[in-house]
Amino acid sequence: MVILMGGFVVDNQGSEVTVPDVNVYEPGARRWSRGQDIPVPVDSAVTGVSHDRFIYLIGGRSPNAPVNNVQVYDAEKDTWSQGTPFPGTPAFGMAGGVADEAIVVVDGAKAGPAGGPRYVPSDECWLGKINHHDPKNIQWRKLPNHPGAARYRIGAGGSEKDEKIYFAGGTDNPYYYTGIGYDGKPSEPSPVTFDFNLRTGKWETLDANTPDPTMDHRGLLATHEGLVLIGGMEKGQKVTARVTLLSKEPKAK
């Protein structure tokens, strides 16, 4: 099945309105159904799946402010529970994923200082270990900064087979949905593709100059053929329908 969670719509005044929706698509039956609403509605959150059952919805922007909640959806029972929050600064537009009972989340946008932009980049990176017997119990520890300068809406996703969380694109300037930063400056995508290796516990740069980079992602697909990025926003704040396949292997220097 395919499960879509949260997100936002733009109202008549141009404001982003967060929604609590959980929509479930069953490809075999070719039908949609509604799941239980998200307890704390969020958009621009990190998601990941463990044991083909538990979906983790991490951080994101609630109707009031960014949060550090970890909300766990049991796809078999259609129920929600609250996991151990990540101990960092509440943020949205973070990136990360779940693999091998581990969660990696990085960056995002946090509330800005008084008199400054509404949101500014966060540079916090966290690793969470999921308790094998209790999917709600997560032990968190802080990680060093990742390669590259991107902090917001990086495409990311985990691979159980590779034991890695992959990251591509994103930008160092958090922005409104138009692609113009909260500081009033146009945002541009980062060309850096990298991963976090769960076996070694280290960051790895795959390509420091990825061609035609994009931003405005919520995730990516890690397949045996490579990393799949769908859509996003190109240079010049141009929305694209392009599907890109990136290599999972480090680029030769």
Give per-residue pLDDT as tens, 21-48.
999 999 999 999 999 999 999 999 999 9
Tell me: the pLDDT tens digits for 49-72? Answer: 999 999 999 999 998 889 999 999
Give the chain's domain count: 1
SS3 content of the chain, % helix, strand, coil (to 5): 0, 45, 55
Segment 215-222 shows an average pLDDT of 93
Residue 231: CB atoms within 10 A of its CB come to 16
For residues 147 and 58, give the distance between their C-alpha atoms in angstroms, rounded to a whole number: 22
Q: Is residue 251 part of a domain?
A: no
For residues 130 and 108, give the distance between their C-alpha atoms in angstroms, rounded to a whole number: 22
Q: Is residue 253 part of a domain?
A: no
Residue 191: CB atoms within 10 A of its CB come to 17
Q: Rounded mean pLDDT of the chain?
A: 94
Q: Judge whether residue 8 has pLDDT over 90.
A: no
Domain that holds residue 20: 2-246
- Residue 36 belongs to a domain with what CATH number? 2.120.10.80
Segment 121-125 shows an average pLDDT of 96
**Residue 104 in tokens:** 């990696």
pTM of the model: 0.93
7 pLDDT band (50/70/90 cuts)?
Answer: confident
Q: Is residue 45 part of a domain?
A: yes
Q: Is residue 149 part of a domain?
A: yes
Q: Judge whether residue 253 has pLDDT over 70.
A: no
Q: Judge whether residue 251 has pLDDT over 90.
A: no
